[in-house]
Structure 1
């Protein structure tokens, strides 16, 4: 896995009305969300400066914000790391996700319209293609976009912002799950969510979301347990 990729030629350009540190924050945040920075592997601040094509000051500010978000930890010698999840962290994240995300699904079910259903279907169709192709990057991207679109439909900015910060803590480990198990065997409750939304059934949407969140965390826990077992036998 390439951890410090140069920005693609088609990458979003910084807007004149957006501070440089905000643009860098969003770039680095996406790298964390989609597993380009692996849990437990330290990278240098200078390496991030070089790969992001940004100045030291905006990179440091972005890192400061991501540390506050719980997405990064600072090490010595000008290095940062994506924290590895512990069993206790997984338990707390599972509790938080099952507490908050069903409520977002419930709100979305009562607010969704034809445009919202179409947007979610587009995300889910792209996700299914990625699963069939074994496209890990595509899976991670479209899975997150499905959830982010749902949160937007829910029109609950406080809940959405809280859940989005939770994603920064567990999403890097989803890359590890995909690498270990592939994409075809990953749990998918999105079809149940889509049926619930089409029917306007808020209770069914909440149940499907709770199951989706819980299954995702179970996969992460299983992956970490398998990795620990591998290390014992090395």
Structure 2
């Protein structure tokens, strides 16, 4: 695998955009650290360590930890110990069931609302994702893979399901980073080309079926990593 480059920083907010409260900014930064695997499964975090890493005060860090614990992205073990949960086989099966139930449905709904502009944005995102795969850029892969899915689900106009799926991603994001670190990006499955083709054809049912395959392959990769087994080849 090529050398890993840091995930690109988000674009700077324009002067016309309202400034986010500091506690929200800290929450989003810590959430991204979990989502994109900068914090490993089982890794402990402390308020003091995070205030230094995030260059933030203790109050917004405490609030971010409280929110992320309530969302299941972090676990409070008592005695002020907080860790990133390690994914168990039982937890993996629950995540697989919920993802395979919700994400194909969101994809079908997105297909029904797809426009040429939306499709162009998804194609552009997938192009950047493929470049990250080719470069062995784990951080870029994780960020743009998440973006592709999040952009798709946002089009579904189903906010409750989309928010639920977003929380599910927090549960397996650190483990997906482990998969990438162990096996590299060239072996990762990718059904996005087929999903985009289904969107372009206006075939909502096909788009949903292919997304189900994409989800199943990704969860199989994580299961293989938990088992210490080789992962399958990339499908595109």
TM-score normalized by structure 2?
Answer: 0.88
* Superposed CA RMSD: 2.0
Equivalent residue pairs, number: 220
Is the partner of 2:195 in helix, strand or coil? helix
| Separation (CA, whole Å) in 2 of partners of 1:26 and 1:12 | 14
In the TM superposition, 1:13-92 aligns within 5 A as 17-92=19-94
TM-score normalized by structure 1?
Answer: 0.89
Q: 1:94 aligns with which of 96, 103, 108?
A: 96
Give unpaired runs (5+ residues) of structure 1: 228-234
Residues 1:155 and 2:157 aligned together: yes
| Separation (CA, whole Å) in 2 of partners of 1:183 and 1:190 | 15
| Separation (CA, whole Å) in 2 of partners of 1:191 and 1:226 | 29
User: Which aligned segments of 4 or more residues in structure 1 are displaced greater than 6 angstroms?
Assistant: 8-13
Q: Is the 8 A contact 1:45 1:80 kept in 2?
A: no
Q: Once the two structures are superposed, what CA deviation does each residue of 1:163-216 show, in whole Å capped at 9, x if it has no partner? A: 000000011111000011100110101011000000010110000111111111
Task: Quote how far apart the aligned CAs of 1:154 are.
Answer: 1.3
Task: Quote how far apart the aligned CAs of 1:16 are.
Answer: 6.4
Give unpaired runs (5+ residues) of structure 2: 1-5, 230-236
Is the partner of 2:101 in helix, strand or coil? helix
| Separation (CA, whole Å) in 1 of partners of 2:133 and 2:47 | 34
Q: 2:146 aligns with which of 144, 147, 155?
A: 144
| Separation (CA, whole Å) in 2 of partners of 1:181 and 1:72 | 25
Q: 1:184 aligns with which of 183, 186, 192?
A: 186
